[in-house]
Amino acid sequence: MSEKIRRIVIVGGGTAGWITAGLVAARFQGVPGDFVPSITLVESPNVPIIGVGEGTWPTLRGTLKKIGVRETDFIRECDATFKQGAKFCKWTTGAEDDGYYHPLVLPEAYSHANINKPWLTGVAPWLNGDRSEPFAHAVCAQADACERGLAPKTITSPEFDGALNYAYHLNAGKFSSFIQKHCVDNLGVNHVLADMIDVTQDEQGYITSITTEQAGEIKGDLFVDCTGFKSLLLGEAMGVEFKDCSDVLFADTALAVRAPYADDRAPIASHTISTAQEAGWIWDIGLSTRRGIGHVYSSKYIDEDRARQQLVDYLVDIGAKPDELEMRKIPIRSGHRTHFWEKNVVAVGLSAGFLEPLEASAIVLVEMSAGMLSEQMPATRSAMRVIANRFNDIFLYRWERIVDFLKLHYCVTKRTDSQFWIDNADPKTIPDSLLELLELWRDQPPWDGDFVHNEEVFPSSSYQYVLYGMGFETTQSFYGQSDKEKMIAQKSLATNKKRIESLMSILPQNRDLIDKIHKYGLQTV
* Active site (catalytic) residues: 83
Phi and psi at 114, nearest 5°, equal -95, 95
Cβ 150 vs Cβ 142: under 8 Å: no
> Measured between alpha carbons, how far is 293 from 272 in angstroms, rounded to an integer?
10
- Side-by-side strand order, sheet with 272-277: 99-103, 85-89, 272-277, 280-286, 290-297, 253-260, 328-331
Other beta carbons less than 10 A from residue 215's beta carbon: 15
Cβ 352 vs Cβ 234: under 8 Å: yes
Could you tell me the sign of the dihedral formed by the alpha carbons of 454, 458, 462, 466, in that order? negative
SS3 of residue 290 by DSSP: strand
SS3 per-residue string spanning 165-177: CCEEECCHHHHHH
CB-based contacts of 300, cutoff 8 Å, min separation 6? 250, 252, 279
Do the bridges between strand 242-244 and strand 335-337 make them parallel or antiparallel, or are there none, so unpaired?
antiparallel
SS3 of residue 424 by DSSP: helix
SS3 of residue 435 by DSSP: helix
What is the chain's Cα-based Rg?
Answer: 23
> Measured between alpha carbons, how far is 284 from 270 in angstroms, rounded to an integer?
11
- Alpha helix (H) ranges present in 129-196? 135-139, 142-147, 172-186
CB-based contacts of 271, cutoff 8 Å, min separation 6? 83, 84, 85, 86, 87, 101, 146
> Measured between alpha carbons, how far is 189 from 44 in angstroms, rounded to an integer?
16
Q: Helix (H) and strand (E) counts for the chain?
A: 15, 21
Could you tell me the sign of the dihedral formed by the alpha carbons of 309, 315, 316, 318, in that order? positive
